[in-house]
Amino acid sequence: MRQLTSPKPFKELTLDKLTIADERAFSQLPLYRALKSILVESKYFFRVLQKPNWDRALLLNLTYWSAEARGDVLPSPRLHADVVAHVAWHHLANEALSDRSARAMFLGESIASAFDVYLIGHLLRRGRQCSFLETQIQALAEAAKNAGTSARAFEALLGVIATSPEAAFAELRALLMDATCALYDCDGADEAAHALARFDRHRFAAILHHYELSTWVLHAKTHQRGKTKKRTLEVDDALRTPSAIDWLTHHWITDPLSEL
């Protein structure tokens, strides 16, 4: 009797087979071309749903994403330029750290996610309009409003980001790393609330809950294993300066074989 086989849910496509939205605005930004080239040269593939479904792609990515497995899930053969950069940082972190611990996962997430404010800062400075800038500022403004931040204070925060995107990246990355590590160690809501309160005076606290911290923590508790490697701790320490982007550029992009 002939056995039926289930159709494959995905098409595996490399970056050159995808349409990249907002790329015109991103093409002149520092590091974007280098990050894109890294994915192209490594033949990094994306898993595109056979039947477009944005909600299903989001569920699969948030629940089953793994840097080691590669192949981020897309609802269609189209992605935004900021996602290219985000995926590239995760790829670089996985290659550089080779660490399955929760702290290593948080380090990669903090770098990839904080890079958004670096992009926002440079886009604002250059006066470049794109859908990424519009949607991200709207989402950040909503998070800040929910945190009790006034519209004037949020505008001032955008000014800080535009004045020094590099320093903004370094500060936000450290906040995301520290907050997520603190939550990971908590056993209940009371302990977690106290842990979060310690960051309320941070300059970027108003936008902290824009990021998927709960997903990161739950994913780490479910999937991450092992003791944190020394190199992960060393990289985290090295990035706690306003020149964190320069460090990453040199050690992970320009000269990936260089020592700390």
Query: What would the pLDDT profile of 9-67 be if each residue is shown by its tens digit?
Result: 899 999 999 999 999 999 988 899 999 999 999 999 999 999 999 999 999 988 887 76
Residue 1 within a domain: no
Residue 170: name the closest of 202, 146, 214, 138 by CA: 202
Dihedral angle sign, alpha carbons of residues 88, 93, 96, 100: negative
Q: What is the pLDDT of residue 172?
A: 98
Domains contained in the chain, number: 1
Residues whose CB falls within 8 Å of the CB of residue 187, separated by 6 or more in sequence, listed in order? none
Residue 245 within a domain: yes
Residue 260 within a domain: no
Q: What is the pLDDT of residue 4?
A: 53
The CB density around residue 39, as the number of other CB atoms within 10 Å, is 21
Residue 3 within a domain: no
Residue 28 within a domain: yes
Residue 19 within a domain: yes
pLDDT higher than threshold 60 for residue 101: yes
Please state the pTM of the whole predicted model: 0.93
Note down the domain range covering 182: 10-254
Residue 4 within a domain: no
Residue 67 within a domain: yes
Q: What is the pLDDT of residue 30?
A: 86
Q: What is the pLDDT of residue 3?
A: 55
Burial class (CB in 10 A: 0-12, 13-18, 19+), 175: buried
Residue 130: name the closest of 78, 82, 167, 74 by CA: 82
How far apart are alpha carbons 174 and 145 in whole angstroms? 22
pLDDT higher than threshold 60 for residue 174: yes
- Give me the mean pLDDT over the 87-106 stretch: 94
